[in-house]
Amino acid sequence: MSYPADPPRVEEIVAVMRQAGDGIHSDRLRGLIVVLWRAGLRIGEALDLHEGDLEPGRGALLVREGKGGRRREVGMDDWGWQQLSPWLHDRSSMPLGPLFCVIDGPKRGRPWTAAAVRIQLRRLAAEAGVRRRFAPHQLRHADAVEMAREGVPLNVIQRQLGHANLRVTTVYLQGIDSAEIISAVQARRAPMMPASVGLRV
């Protein structure tokens, strides 16, 4: 089923992160949310990460096999790394494997599934009072919209998201609401011209 671009707002994402509570399961979920949101990864890319793919000192994550088998490096801001840090600490005491893994039982250290992530995000969003679709891909859309608002060039957003085509990136930016577009256009300065041309239209 196809859904319109309707990314969650910052306050909604933070509300879901808070709703996760405390403890190792919460650290894992918050870590995954920031990787989806602040690094703009697809759910499959995030779940394929390993500890060796992270370079906190550079603020970089390595996506070994993105869509179409493409490899890329992406950035993540300091706040994102701070939110991921508790999970990195928890993860270091578990068997080697994917960064976001099963925590309990005989499958400890094995891959966490996208289906389990989606179920947990939906449940927490409802508990947090978020009344819009809250899925992993929506967090990626939110990242694109926020970068555009911050003035990040479109080609940088395209590279961060791993889009082969710039047209796909522009679809992500449809999450910018009409009021924001009207406000930005309304704030434009009057046209400038040399005084010798005169002001008559």
Show which residues are catalytic.
42, 67, 137, 140, 163, 172
The one-letter code for the residue type at 85 is S
Tokens matching residue 46: 């995030």
Quickly list H helices, 39-104.
43-47, 78-91
Long-range contacts (CB closer than 8 Å, 24 or more residues apart) made by 56-62: 56/81, 61/35
Whole-number Å distance between alpha carbons of 163 and 159: 6
User: Can you tell me the distance from the alpha carbon of 56 to that of 184, in angstroms, rounded to the nearest whole number?
Assistant: 35
Look at residue 74 and give its three-state secondary structure. Answer: strand
